[in-house]
Amino acid sequence: MSQARLLGEVLRERGVSRRAFLKYAGYMASLMALPPSAAGAMAEGLAKARRQAVIWLSFQECTGCIESLTRSFSPSLEDLIFDFISLDYQHALQAASGEAAEEARRQSMRENKGKYIVIVDGSVPMGDGGVYSTVAGHTNQAILAETIADAAAVVAVGTCAAFGGLPEADPNPTGAVPISQLVGDKPLINIPGCPPMPQAMAGTLLHILSFGKLPELDHLHRPRAFFGENIHDRCYRRPFYERGLFAKAFDDEGAREGWCLYELGCKGPVTYNACASLKWNGGVSFPIQSGHGCIGCSEPRFWDRGGLYRALPTGTSDVRKVIGIAAVAGVALGAGAAALARRRSAATRDAAAAPPAKTPSPQE
């Protein structure tokens, strides 16, 4: 449960030096593209903050989001979870189970009424009364409604929670919807990605803790600090795009030379995320660096945008049948028009060749 003591006191007791704390705050501030002066403000804000109560709800998801966060290299799970926040409910990590776990959630809600943050991963099935995903006998929709009623803010992590993701992909058999459709006017932050970048999740929570307000968001409720630029603009393969050098297959010479993966369906130009700048696994690599195009996982409906390997400028549907029908119809119309013209021409010619009609003389 959240503690009344200040984070600064807790950290000092645990032997975290002020230097290390400032270094950490500086790192997080730079991750979020905040000005240098913000590092001090962030450190000060964090030191004066109390451990933030967090309830993490998991719905139609694959647990990849929490896996991503727990494997973040910095801040580590210990830094984030046990020093800065009080994770009062999380299926994959909590020791309690069954009714004890549910009671832990309710207790946190009571003790931190109006102050706790709800993190949600996974979409919510609405089809058939929401029976496709239940926890402790309750539908995801009911649990979400109950939990967010007294929450300070809701953070939807992962593309499933933020935009519906894979469960919502056509034909959406469970009637899955993103969290944004169910939170009403509660403050909402979307941190999409499949999975989302751990720095984005940790940085966003730390921003709330440090400054007591939500970070600046874009039109899809994503923190601009992490989703403000598209992959293409920050991609190290961009010079090859400009030079017109493209890999045509995943094992051709272009692929081996590290040329642009645009023709192999890379969605970097329309995908906003920090993969190309922050990278994964402690800055080791990111999908494009590993030889695979960006699949656009932090964008809405990325599963249904014509296929992961379909190049961006091409159409998303197979037009050959439609074009074939149009071609046949066009030739038929043209031939019909020409036939009518021929008939008119023949009629005119026949009329000209016919002897003039006999007109009665005035005497008759």
Alpha carbon distances (Å) from 362 to 43, 54, 356: 118, 112, 18
Out of 315, 355, 356, 362, point to the residue binding other proteins (CB under 8 A).
315
Contacts of 240 (CB under 8 A, 6+ apart): 246, 258, 259, 260
Contact 3, 86 (CB under 8 A): yes
Q: Which of 243, 251, 253, 257 binds other proteins (CB under 8 A)?
A: 243
Q: Is 41 helix (H, G, I), strand (E, B) or coil?
A: helix
* Interaction of residue 170 with other proteins, rule CB under 8 A: no
Residue 92 within binding range of other proteins, rule CB under 8 A:
no
| Part of the chain binding other proteins (CB under 8 A), chosen from 29-37, 83-91, 197-205, 241-249 | 241-249
Residue closer to other proteins (CB basis): 143 or 162: 162
Least distance (Å) between residue 306 CB and other proteins? 6
Q: Does 307 bind other proteins (CB under 8 A)?
A: no
Considering only residues 203 through 232, tell me which ones interact with other proteins, judged by CB under 8 A: 230, 232
Beta bridge partners of 306: none
Give the gyration radius of the chain's Cα atoms: 31
Q: Decide if residue 314 touches other proteins (CB under 8 A).
A: yes
The CA angle 114-116-118, to the nearest 5 degrees, is 115
Residue 182 CA neighbour count, 13 Å, CB half = 27
- Helices (DSSP H) in the chain: which residue ranges? 7-13, 18-31, 36-48, 64-70, 77, 98-111, 140-148, 159-163, 165-168, 198-211, 224-227, 231-234, 238-242, 253-257, 275-278, 320-353
Q: Work out whether 269 is an interface residue with other proteins (CB under 8 A).
A: yes
- The single residue among 93, 96, 100, 325 that binds other proteins, judged by CB under 8 A, is 325
Residue range at the interface with other proteins (CB under 8 A); choices 150-158, 183-191, 196-204, 262-270 = 262-270
Q: Is 242 or 364 the residue whose CB approaches other proteins more closely?
A: 242
Q: Which is nearer to other proteins, 187 or 306 (CB)?
A: 306
Residue 29 backbone class (left: φ over 0; alpha: ψ -120 to 50; beta: rest): alpha
The residue behind tokens 């190290």 is 236
Does position 330 interact with other proteins (CB under 8 A)? The reply is yes
Q: Kindly report the CA angle at 341 between 335 and 343, in degrees rounded to 5?
A: 105
Out of 216, 233, 251, 253, the residue judged to bind other proteins by CB under 8 A: 233
Contact between 14 and other proteins (CB under 8 A)?
no
Q: Quick check: 10 binds other proteins (CB under 8 A)?
A: no
Q: Min. distance of Cβ 329 from other proteins in angstroms?
A: 5
Residue 88 vs 299, nearer CB to other proteins: 299
Determine the 3-state secondary structure of 165 from DSSP: helix
Binding mask 343-362 for other proteins (x = CB under 8 A): --x-----------------
C-beta of 308: minimal distance to other proteins in Å? 14
Side-chain half-sphere of 267: how many Cα atoms within 13 Å? 21
* Number of Cβ within a 10 Å radius of residue 119: 29
Of 244, 356, 360, 362, the one binding other proteins (CB under 8 A) is: 244
Size of site (CB under 8 A) for other proteins: 43
**Interface with other proteins (CB under 8 A):** 230, 232-233, 241-244, 246, 262-263, 269-270, 300-301, 304-306, 311-317, 319-320, 322-323, 325-327, 329-331, 333-335, 337-339, 341-342, 345
